[in-house]
Structure 1
């Protein structure tokens, strides 16, 4: 039986923030911004719920992520309908690769042993009636 894990997180998609550096005395330290840590914590919790006590995948996986953004309220009804039909794409921040990176890191050790196991990835940004991110992870056929 093919196992597929689907994780849905309502709310606006967020990208992984760049690590920040600081100087303390003569040493340089790094930290992840609080907004990124909070978002990754939400993803982690949703992933734990979706796994239902199953162990993480320890084989090559396919990672699919769809980031859905709300249509701006200021847009005309005609433009809103075009966006919802997929004719207009959200070519705006956050960058899709940064959204994927936040999800990849948050799912480490929960859905898969390590994100190095991701061998195929499909990503997309779109407008929709409600903001959310939907991610599926599944083993790659014939990879063992």
Structure 2
């Protein structure tokens, strides 16, 4: 994935990651004699690969240019618990009741942005504005919008 010519530059890409929202897990440690090995948990690696795949399917090889300022909007949709009453379920689907549960909003944002390093952008330090929101839905997923902040 090379840098695009100015006239081909990506301005905005939207994509969805199917399934329940997932948060970045802490690194794990294992001891081998005197040495400590640090590694990323398998579930985190699998979800990061899914994020990359979904981005690549939508972007078709395009990447945001180096040095651009990016705005990332993430909406995490959680499944409504099966035991929920009809009245409460309706309120959840109308976004009147929001998920106050794990994963935390910052861990959702972290796994999405970290996954897209060297895939959507050169480094997630290009993200200068971001928002993560949590809602309920019949269709659990994470919707992501990345856009270039246009200078006036």
Which stretch has the larger CA shift, 19-28 or 49-58?
A: 49-58
Corresponding residue of 1:110: 119
- Does the 8 A contact of 2:25 with 2:41 survive in 1? yes
- CA-to-partner distance for each residue in 1:53-107, whole Å, 9 max, x for gaps? 2233321100000000011110100000011111111000111111111101111
Corresponding residue of 1:20: 28
Gaps of 5+ in 1: none
* Aligned-partner SS, 1:5: strand
Q: 97, 104, 111: which is aligned to 1:95? A: 104
Matched ranges for 1:21-36 at <5 A: 21-36=29-44
Gaps of 5+ in 2: 1-8
Q: What is the number of equivalent residue pairs in this alignment?
A: 143
TM-score with structure 2 setting the length: 0.89
Hey, what's the Cα distance between the residues in 2 that align with 1:70 and 1:54? 31
Give the C-alpha shift of residue 2 in structure 1.
6.9
Q: 57, 61, 85: which is aligned to 2:94? A: 85
Aligned pair 1:52/2:56, yes or no? no
- Does the 8 A contact of 2:11 with 2:64 survive in 1? no
TM-score with structure 1 setting the length: 0.94
Hey, what's the Cα distance between the residues in 2 that align with 1:54 and 1:77? 44
* Aligned-partner SS, 2:58: helix
Moved over 3 A (4+): none
